[in-house]
Amino acid sequence: MKKHLLTVSALALAVMSGSALAANGGDVQFIGTVTDTTCDIVPEANGAVSNVVQLGNVATSTAAAAAGDTSNQGAVVNFALKPKAGTTCNPAGMTNASFAFAGPLEVTGLAPQSGAATDAMVKLSAVNATGGAHDINKTQSVSQVTLTDLNDAAKGAQFSAQLIGGAQAGDYNSAVAYVVAYN
pLDDT of residue 29: 67
How buried is residue 148: exposed, middle or buried, by Cβ count under 10 Å (0-12/13-18/19+)?
Answer: exposed
For the entire predicted model, the pTM comes to 0.77
DSSP codes of every residue in 128-162:
S-TT--EEESSS--EEEEEHHHHH-TTTSEEEEEE
pLDDT of residue 4: 42
- Residue numbers in the chain where pLDDT is lower than 70: 1-25, 27, 29, 31-38
For residues 116 and 90, give the distance between their C-alpha atoms in angstroms, rounded to a whole number: 43
pLDDT digits (tens, 9 = 90+) for 146-163: 999 998 988 999 999 999
Q: What is the CATH number of domain 35-182?
A: 2.60.40.1090
pLDDT of residue 10: 43
pLDDT of residue 92: 76
